[in-house]
Amino acid sequence: MIGNWRVARFGARFAKAGRSAFRAPAPVTYALIALCCLLFLIGPAAGLNPAYGSGDGLLAAQRAYFHRWGVVPAELFEGAPRAALTPATALFVHGSWVHLLGNMLFLYVFGVMTEERMGHVQFTLFYLGCGYLALLGYAAANDDSTQSLVGASGAISAILGAFLFLFPGARVTSLLPFLLFLPLRFPAWVVLPFWAGLQWVAAGRAAQGPGVAYLAHLVGFGLGFGYASARFGRATRVKAAPAPASEGENQP
């Protein structure tokens, strides 16, 4: 009886937490994070699912998985219906634990306030649309590449661009390597353009095609900023808002 009571109590707490998350100001952001984490855990990249085997078998399964659900630029423009969907499916696939956690941290920190400002439906369409176009733009610039591109960075970069326009005075906590990773707080109008500048420099040096999709970051950032400025206009910008964050995104 005691065990059953504890199970019931845990179930009630879990249900209450789920209802609280649904009523939170950013349910779409939380749902995107949960979906990306779930798909990663059950996929081959996490290395936790025994169905994918181990060693060389696991590596082969990972390559096949990324090829199926990721963007392969050389195949995207051949006209196959399946390939046309990959810029959308690739947004929910991540290549490693670091890749996943870095992207989800940025999505959480900047997505909550952006979703609350845009509204749930508009934010969902914004995330998917800008993410799709960011990966499409990268693929167009590397149309002869046969390497798979996965990750939510294009969509998350669009959120960063929109956040910069909507909350330019928000204080963002950044960890800067050249300052011994000391946490320092700067306004978004300092941190986010600096981040975009780093992506620009890195994109200019990325001559070998896919790897880290810096160009997708730039396309997404520009789309996000442009959409926010066109949709909301200067009169609706928020001058200051709290936004603690960590600096660092390593993969697309």
The SS3 call for residue 26 is: coil
246 CB-side CA count, 13 A = 12
Q: Is residue 217 annotated as a catalytic residue, yes or no?
A: yes
Distances (CA, A) of 73 to 127, 189, 199, 251: 21, 33, 20, 17
Best CA proximity match to 130, nearest among 160, 167, 100: 160
DSSP 110-177: HHHHHHHHH-HHHHHHHHHHHHHHHHHHHHHHTTT--S-B--SHHHHHHHHHHHHHH-TT-EEEEEEG
Quick check: is 153 catalytic? yes
Catalytic choice (145, 148, 153, 157): 153
DSSP code at position 80: -
Residue of 145, 148, 174, 217 marked catalytic? 217
- Residues labelled as active-site residues: 153, 217
